[in-house]
Structure 1
Amino acid sequence: MAVTAIQDVREVLGAYPELADVAVLTHVQEPVGQVLVAYAVPNSPDFDLEALHRYVRAMLPGSAVPAAIVVVDAIPTDFAGTPESQALPAPDLRGLVPYRSPDTPRQVALCTIFAEVLSRPRCGVDDDFFRLGGESIDAMLIASRVGPEFGLEISMNEVFDAPTVAELDQLLTRLSSTGG
């Protein structure tokens, strides 16, 4: 992970007005390898993590979006002012697979819907609904947003049967070719 990418992500997060402090570190997660993890110290008790996720997704290219944003009370540093990664909580990276960015506008929209519903900073085309902690209510929310977005009706069970953006994209292609 390039140092400039970490600095760029830190600058974007540092510009967010509701944060008092931020740290961006790399974390090794198998089988993905190195991923960025952001640690954020909010400056108010009514901090909106979802708003921060939306901001980060809007400001950074998909490959630079941290795999997780962890809210902490403070960022411990060593004598040189460097964040002490061992003193920070481990990020929740369950379900993380190598990030594959969306190729089409529909995949971009589906990735956004998955990320927002599942409260993730980003979602790649191959990220699995179940591995990301998706439950029945989440599948209903995804179906209720995907249908109107693309003019097709899909059910919660279809989300279960097509649990990645790539699979759901293929399903939507089939549905649109058969008249939905």
Structure 2
Amino acid sequence: MSQEFNRGPAPQQNKDLFILTYGALVAQLCKDYEKDEDVNKYLDKMGYGIGTRLVEDFLAQSSVRRCHSYSEVTHIIAEVAFKIYLGVTPSVPCNNSSRNEFSLILDKNPLSEFVGELPAGRSSLCYCSLLCGIIRGALEMVHLAADVTFLQDKLKGDSVTEIGITFLKQPEEKKYRRKK
């Protein structure tokens, strides 16, 4: 399932610029909005918009084939998408027997690489909620409804950063018949 991509130095520069710019964006949103919940919603909404557009680029670059299970989808997100766009590969445990809940566990989160701690008085800020929106938006574009949330965050003292993905319904298999 793992694939190697040699995209040269430009993507690394783009990733670094995005990470630095992201910190400035979150800082500005904290100035613009009093409540952490409003900042979190804004970042999630922004991420959703990015995800709906990014999925096309991802499918063109990765040449992944159709997935046949939620497990396969989640491993593609971790092993291909995170590798391409953020240069990391999260681990992917399944969280239930129904095989529709998974976690993406990041030992190192590039988005919070230059952040020592959350701003004072911002304990409920979900600094990287943009990622949840991106994943949710991209999944919806391939007709997979999912609830995507942060379960653990190193910036809040947890040992890892963990994103939970719960697929909400089985995709319907459409069978096409030839007209005779």
* Larger proportion of helix: 2
Using CA pairs under 8 Å that are at least 6 residues apart, name the structure with larger relative contact order, 1 or 2.
2
Same fold per superposition (TM over 0.5)? no
User: What TM-score, normalized by structure 2, do the two folds share?
Assistant: 0.31
